[in-house]
Structure 1
Amino acid sequence: MSGPAPRRRSWAIDTTPLRNPAYRRLFWGVAATMLGQQMTLVAVPFQVYALTGDSLMVGVTSIVALVPLIVFGLLGGAIADSMDRRRLMLVTSVGAAVTSVLLAGQALLPGEGNLAVLWVLTACVSAFAAVNQPTRSAVIPALVGPAGVPAANALSMTVRQAAVIAGPLLAGVLIGAGELFLAYAIDALGFLAAAVLLRGLPALPPGRDIGPLRLGAAVRGVGEGFVFLRTQPVLLMTFVVDIVAMCFAWPQAVFPELSENRFADSPNSLGWLFAGVSIGALLMGLTSGWVSRVDRQGAVVLGAIAVWGVAIIGFGWAQSLWLAVLCLAVAGAGDMVSAVLRSSMLQLAAPEEMRGRMQGVFIVVVAGGPRLGDLRAGALASAASVSVAMVSGGVVVVLAMALVAVLVPSFWLFRASRTAV
């Protein structure tokens, strides 16, 4: 009679953290913002192209968003270690909501809006998100305790992957119906809902005395974070392995070429290619109950990234759309496991007073790695071929993970159960 329940818990996503009222507020706040954020990520480049008719300007818009993400991702982590994190999440959520309202308003301007205004608001959205995201991650251990961190991360990342799939689809429907305004408005409503939920959280001070918040102190805090990181090989390698995986095997830049050439006869091949990684990540998230019980987290991270590399090798050779999407889904599943465990290692192995800064670096790496990967893949695909770009990158990733296991044994041997923090 009682046999099936343990088996289900062994694979189904672990929802135990949702029993915690404080984490439940944080979780639903994340869920409320994710869908709108993904819609905005579609709406902004669409509007830029509608205004300019130039794909180069769409690319420039990506840099406009990336620069504040890097700057405020690092500063935001330092700020999160210098003030009450509940208050910081409230401020950034309200700021993002106001910016999204302004985005919705400019979408109603005559002539499809104004490019300069759109760029300024895009930079503001990116800056608020860059401070908000590391702060949200930094408070998770305080809300659920060390044992609940992997499961809490899996829940948050699963919601994100669902939004990555649903958000662009809904944005496409609204934009096709001429309702660009609504795409931005939904984003604003999501941030407002998050702010209401976050108000119910308890005070969440960092693990040190809080002094007056000054820009100079925040900048010094960033430097202190990097000095600390240099002395922690396990934490440093959580960033290095992800940079390697994204720089050498991020496939998105080759999707348009594959869609127009190799898979030209397959309906909506471009859409399926873009969805492939997220489909795998979402399925892994829904069956991630086992991830929260992993003790040898470093070893499993290296294995998961090696799976990513092997899957990208298969993707590079795939001659049919269904096989290519399957390989991308396997890659996405490996990336999901890696992301959950790397984030958990950062949250558990970093001391409380450093968690904001470590999550700030994490956000910068997650955002910057794929952009560097796009540059490498696009350049190599143009000079040689898509297969060469993807297969060579996947091989590098697999070999690099083997080298990390040999050269940095502290990462390979890392156990969550032995973490002192």
Structure 2
Amino acid sequence: MSVRIAVIADDFTGGLFVASNLEKLGIPVFYVCDTAVLHEAADGEVLVIATRLRFMPPARAVAALDGLTTMLDEIGVEHIFYKYCSTFDSTDEGNIGPCGDLLIGKYGQRRLVFGPGYPDLHTYVHEGYMFYKDRLISESIKRSDPITPMNDPDMARVLQRQTAETVGLLPHRVLHRGVEFARGYVDDQQGKGVRYFLMDCVDNDDVATGATIFRHDHITTGADALAIELISQWTSEDAGTRRRTPSPVARAEGGEVVLVGSCSGVTLRQRDHFAQDNPMLDIDICEADEDILMARALAWADEKLGAGQPIGFSVAGDVASVADAQAKFGIMGAARKAEAILAGIAKGLGGRGVRKFVVSGGETSGAIVEALGIQSMQVLPFDELGAGSCISRDARRISLFLKPGKIGAEDVFSAALEKMRAP
């Protein structure tokens, strides 16, 4: 096996965004959910490893990342990209800084780039300040995120609170003057003791210039835009990575379900739209323990599955119900209970012959894929639905659409299922 490039994604939907865009470009991807199958990657494929690192406590995340990178070292990977959310999604107790500290220390790099932002999804960084859909991140829907409220729009300042390394800015006003000028600026800042570079991301030209500056580094970090650009540059200079036309896929046959874990306003509107025409069971996680709620949900499913239409389950609630759950179980406790309930339901439905799963929520997606025992997936190219379409590589051929909570049209659940039915 000869694999030059690996992406470690800190959640499942983020990994799919990178993988589906690479597949659209004709760059072959092996998408891994379980490191036990790393050895199955074919020569020239880009490894994309989906993890659940995003909300792990720093010490646990660092230990997990250390183990993963050691595995990649053992198979001779030349470039490792650590991928996090385009909106950074990290508080003062977050793990992006500590993970950076591990990587720069383990590999002895003199510098490390941090590249949040994704212009194609209206997420920008200018002078270190993040904007989402033309609003400061601290004034956007992300300010009320139930797990990682983004109250400080200055990403360099957020990162600096997570690390003892000196964080500097690689601003748009430098990047737009071209590669050589920006490279000289980086060298000058390194001479002044800066090791971490928070890169502006005003447009795709910023991304391309930054990628060119850092493309020879063994370790890079950032969001989707920087990952895709770097990998495009790496593969264009490597004759061993062959561009290809995506292979046709064998569609899944079986029941259909929508599982809603995200509490974003976007997802709640998508849930309500789906529920207009399909049975949807809303689950109050405060009402009983996990086993009871899962048993009730599966009993309800047994009554509905024979009707020949999709069914749905939601643990998503409004602001008041989320606050009640967090008060009872804690912020992460509420999230983990909700994920466990949906994962248990998914596992039960898989045993009942359901083979088409639409899931909303990055952490929820990871929990459900793990519960279904999926080790690797064939990722479909980015299309009109965006990223998220994939099929398990095992004999069950489970078809999934995994989406982050904050994106997608109101009819995305039904549209994803319709796509799964297409010949």
- TM-score in terms of structure 1 length: 0.28
**Which one scores higher on RCO, CA 8 angstroms, separation ≥ 6?**
1
Q: Which structure has greater strand proportion?
A: 2
The structure where helix makes up a greater share of residues is 1
